């Protein structure tokens, strides 16, 4: 009898304590304690300005139309800068037509020399934008690595707070390794190799050396290396996350059932209250993950759009040169187009790592949901 009275007394005490505590923590306090306020500072100025224009803030859940506003802002920025690519296209097309006209009226011995002069003219036209794009690619990959190094600890902490105690350490270790690898590989391998590839393309076009096989082999090696790296990272992270989250969900349900049955009278109330508290942390986790997704897009999409525009210009000019029979000029323009395709692939691969890292935070369910 005394034991039963003691159990009832303890149950009532727990019930009173539960009523005296807030069931859900304040969201602003959760955002502040998560370290999300440092994420905006880790972004480059261009990305910060873009996110501020669309109203994205790491301290609150992004609006449902934030992604639409982001793409609208990107299109407006491109429309404001389309004059330089248009002038370059007109210059390249005029060079192709002029070289063909000179070939028609000049001696056949000068035909190759005229085409080489056209390639040199195209090199002068494209040198500044290509150098600028390569420099921007180096800055973007470094910026993505810096943002990942700042965001991954925040992501992992929020996953742990939301009850994903197995997923968080694995996710943090893999993502931090990927962030450090991105920083090292982009500065030491990707950008230098792109510069070498572009130099080989120019040399192959304006000299008697046939470097096409070498450039083709280098192009394929870089492309498959990027595909392999992104596939391995995405696959390993996805499998680890799915397996760990499944174990957490099963453990969370078992823990809730155990608490409900172990504490008389108020066990189920205690379990429900704990689930509501954890759901507050999950809401903050999803908000920060959504901001990280938008931030990742804001880092690399502007450069991808610019590079795609110059790729279209090189493709159109190269096609015109091939139709007019200007082989050295066509070879140079096709080489520039291949270099731009590699640049876009490299930047998108780095962006994919950042996007996947943020998407995992959004997709993982809380263990006690």
Reported as a single tens digit per residue, the pLDDT across 219-257 is: 888 888 777 877 887 777 777 777 666 665 555 554 455
Q: What would the two tokens of residue 317 be? A: 């000019």
Q: Return the DSSP state at 190.
A: I
pLDDT at 312: 92
Averaged pLDDT score across all residues of the chain = 74
What is the CB-side half-sphere exposure of residue 209 using CA atoms within 13 A?
9
Q: What's the pTM? A: 0.79
> Would residue 332 be called left, alpha or beta, if left means φ above 0 and alpha means ψ between -120 and 50 degrees?
alpha
Residue with tokens 């803030």: 57
Q: Return the DSSP state at 80.
A: T
pLDDT interval class at 19 (50, 70, 90): very low
Give domain limits for the chain.
42-48+70-363
The set of residues, in sequence order, having a beta carbon less than 8 Å from that of 327 and lying 6+ positions away, is: 115, 321
Q: What would the two tokens of residue 61 be? A: 């859940």
pLDDT at 20: 43
């Amino acid at each position: 009898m005394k034991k039963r009275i003691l159990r009832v007394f303890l149950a009532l005490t727990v019930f009173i304590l539960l009523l005296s505590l807030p069931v859900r923590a304040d969201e602003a306090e959760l955002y502040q304690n998560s370290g999300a306020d440092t994420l905006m500072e880790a972004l480059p100025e261009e990305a910060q300005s873009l996110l501020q224009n669309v109203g994205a803030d790491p301290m609150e859940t992004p609006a449902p139309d934030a992604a639409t506003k982001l793409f609208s802002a990107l299109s407006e920025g491109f429309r404001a800068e389309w004059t330089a690519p248009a002038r370059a296209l007109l210059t390249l097309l005029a060079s192709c037509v002029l070289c063909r006209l000179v070939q028609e009226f000049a001696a056949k011995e000068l035909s190759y020399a005229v085409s080489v002069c056209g390639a040199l003219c195209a090199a002068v036209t494209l040198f500044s934008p290509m150098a600028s794009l390569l420099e921007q690619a180096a800055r973007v990959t470094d910026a993505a690595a810096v943002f990942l190094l700042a965001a991954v600890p925040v992501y992992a902490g929020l996953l742990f707070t939301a009850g994903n105690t197995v997923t968080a350490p694995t996710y943090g270790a893999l993502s931090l390794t990927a962030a450090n690898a991105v920083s090292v590989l982009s500065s030491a391998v990707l950008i230098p190799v792109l510069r070498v590839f572009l130099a080989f393309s120019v040399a192959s076009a304006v000299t008697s050396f046939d470097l096409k096989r070498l450039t083709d082999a280098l192009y394929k090696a870089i492309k498959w290396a990027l595909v392999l790296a992104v596939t391995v990272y995405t696959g390993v992270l996805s499998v680890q996350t799915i397996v760990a989250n499944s174990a957490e969900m099963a453990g969370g349900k078992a823990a809730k059932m155990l608490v409900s049955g172990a504490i008389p009278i108020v066990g189920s109330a205690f379990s429900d209250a704990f689930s509501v508290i954890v759901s507050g942390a999950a809401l903050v986790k999803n908000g920060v993950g959504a901001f990280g997704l938008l931030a990742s897009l804001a880092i690399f999409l502007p450069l991808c759009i610019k590079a795609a525009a110059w790729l279209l210009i090189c493709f159109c000019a190269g096609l015109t040169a091939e139709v007019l029979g200007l082989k050295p000029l066509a070879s140079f323009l096709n080489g520039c187009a291949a270099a731009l395709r590699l640049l876009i692939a490299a930047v998108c691969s780095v962006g994919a790592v950042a996007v996947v890292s943020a998407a995992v935070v959004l997709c993982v369910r809380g263990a006690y949901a």
